[in-house]
Amino acid sequence: MKKRVLVIGAGIAGLSSASYLQRNGFETEVYELHDKPGGLCAAWERNGYVIDGCIHWLMGSGASSNLHMIWDELGAGSLRYVEHGEYIIARLPDGDSFTVYTDPDRLEAEILRLSPGDRAFAKLLSSKVKAVAKADMPAAFDRLKPGEAARLALAMPAMLGVFARWMRTPLQGLVDGLKGEKLRKAFSILFGESLRDFPAGALFLMLGFMAKGSAGYPIGGSLAFARAIESKYLELGGKIFYGAKVDEILVEGAEGARRAVGLRGSWGEARGDYIVSAADGRDALDRLLKGAYAGCAMDRAFEAQKRYPSLVFFGLGLDHDCSGLPHAQVFELEEPLVLEGGALKAGRIMLRLFNFDPSLAPAGKTAATVMIETGNDAYWTGLAERDPAAYSAEKKAAAAALVAAIDRKLPGFASWVETVDVATPKTFIRYTNNWHGSYEGWLPTSTSVGAKLPRTIRGLAGFEMVGQWVNPGGGLPPCGMDGRRLAKKLCKAEGRRFKAE
**122, 143, 155, 375, 444 from 468: Cα distances, Å:** 33, 24, 27, 18, 11
The whole-number pLDDT of residue 204 equals 96
pLDDT band at 144 (very low <50, low <70, confident <90, very high): confident
Q: Could you tell me how many helices (H) and strands (E) the chain has, helices first?
A: 16, 21
- pLDDT tens readout for residues 461-486: 999 999 999 999 889 999 999 999 99
Q: How far is it, in rounded angstroms, from Cα 345 to Cα 194? A: 16
Indicate the domain borders of the chain: 4-41+220-306+442-493, 96-212, 310-436
- Residue 332 CB-density burial (10 A; 0-12 exposed, 13-18 middle, 19+ buried): middle
The whole-number pLDDT of residue 372 equals 97
Q: Is the pLDDT of residue 447 over 90?
A: no
pLDDT band at 128 (very low <50, low <70, confident <90, very high): very high
Q: Is the pLDDT of residue 163 over 80?
A: no
**Cβ atoms within 10 Å of 177's Cβ, excluding its own:** 11
pLDDT band at 72 (very low <50, low <70, confident <90, very high): very high
Of the candidates 325, 443, 426, 311, the residue with the CA atom closest to the CA atom of residue 370: 311
Q: Is the pLDDT of residue 155 over 80?
A: no
Angle between helices 221-235 and 12-22 (to 10 degrees): 20
The whole-number pLDDT of residue 87 equals 98
The whole-number pLDDT of residue 450 equals 77
**105, 162, 377 from 217: Cα distances, Å:** 22, 25, 29
Q: CB–CB of 309/439 below 8 Å?
A: yes
Apex 280 CA angle, 225 and 278, nearest 5: 55
Q: Is the pLDDT of residue 159 over 80?
A: no
Q: Is 83 left (phi over 0), alpha (psi -120 to 50) or beta?
A: beta
Q: Is the pLDDT of residue 373 over 80?
A: yes
Mean pLDDT of the chain: 95
- Residue 338 CB-density burial (10 A; 0-12 exposed, 13-18 middle, 19+ buried): middle
The whole-number pLDDT of residue 138 equals 79
The whole-number pLDDT of residue 150 equals 83
Q: CB–CB of 325/369 below 8 Å?
A: no
Q: Regarding beta strands 81-82 and 215-218, do their DSSP bridges make them parallel or antiparallel, or are they unpaired?
A: antiparallel
Task: Give the range among 135-139, 232-236, 265-269 with minimum mean pLDDT.
Answer: 135-139
Q: Domain 4-41+220-306+442-493: give its CATH superfamily.
A: FAD/NAD(P)-binding domain (3.50.50.60)
Structure letter (DSSP) for residue 437: G
Q: Is the pLDDT of residue 405 over 90?
A: yes
pLDDT mean over 363-383: 97
Return the beta strands (E) in 197-343 as ranges: 215-218, 239-242, 248-252, 258-265, 268-271, 274-277, 310-318, 328-339
Distance of CA 93 to the CA centre of its chain: 30
- pLDDT tens readout for residues 242-278: 999 999 999 999 888 899 999 999 999 999 999 999 9
Q: How far is it, in rounded angstroms, from Cα 486 to Cα 275? A: 12
> What percentage of the chain exceeds 90 in pLDDT?
87
For the chain, the first-to-last Cα distance in angstroms comes to: 22
> What percentage of the chain exceeds 70 in pLDDT?
100
The whole-number pLDDT of residue 162 equals 78
Q: CB–CB of 432/40 below 8 Å?
A: yes
The whole-number pLDDT of residue 157 equals 80
Q: Is the pLDDT of residue 158 over 80?
A: no
Q: How far is it, in rounded angstroms, from Cα 323 to Cα 320? A: 9
